[in-house]
Amino acid sequence: MPPSKRREDTQLSTDQANKSRLITMVRWVVETINGRFKRDFKIFRNRVFNKNVPHIFEDFRIAAALINYFQDPYGDSPYTEDFIEIINRNIQRPNLLAEYVEENNLNRHRVTFRRMTANDPEFEHFPQLTIEDIIKFSIGTYHVRLARSY
């Protein structure tokens, strides 16, 4: 179960957020497989009635056999090993940026939005990241696909 914030907190602590991300990564795999069963077999979309209970596991095994035979298996991301290494390296690391923001009350300041582009001269020495670097930094493609909406 992922941690939840306390009533007086505005967001999760760094440690809680990291643990939540780990749990979400594991749960995603399970929920993806459950979704495949529910998508392909109507019997698994709804509640099971008592009269179905004696044979539901057998039905599940048959459904799993059909999925395994006729559908391509899900594969690991090519970055899986990198993700695991990044998580293990950073799970206990203190969040220095969050501490700096809180100490200087930067989270309380209002700033007007200013559009930035990669061609701005002030970003001349800013590091250039490849799409692989960004995927590794965000531990997957989910946030990368959502980035444009931000």
Question: What is the end-to-end Cα distance of the chain in Å, rounded?
Answer: 28
**pLDDT given for residue 145 in this prediction:** 84
Coil, strand, or helix at residue 111?
A: coil
Does residue 61 sit in the same domain as residue 95?
no
Does residue 17 sit in the same domain as residue 68?
yes
What six digits make up the tokens of 106?
A: 């930067």
Give the structural domain span for 147: 76-150
- Domain-ending residue, one of 57, 74, 91: 74
Does residue 97 sit in the same domain as residue 87?
yes
CA distance 139 to 150: 18
Per-residue pLDDT of the chain (150 residues), as tens digits, is 778 888 888 888 877 887 887 788 788 888 989 999 999 999 899 888 888 788 889 999 999 999 999 998 888 788 888 888 888 887 778 888 888 988 998 888 888 888 888 788 888 888 888 999 988 888 788 778 888 777
Does residue 98 sit in the same domain as residue 36?
no
Q: What is the pTM of this model?
A: 0.58
Q: Which helix (H) or strand (E) holds 146?
A: helix 142-146
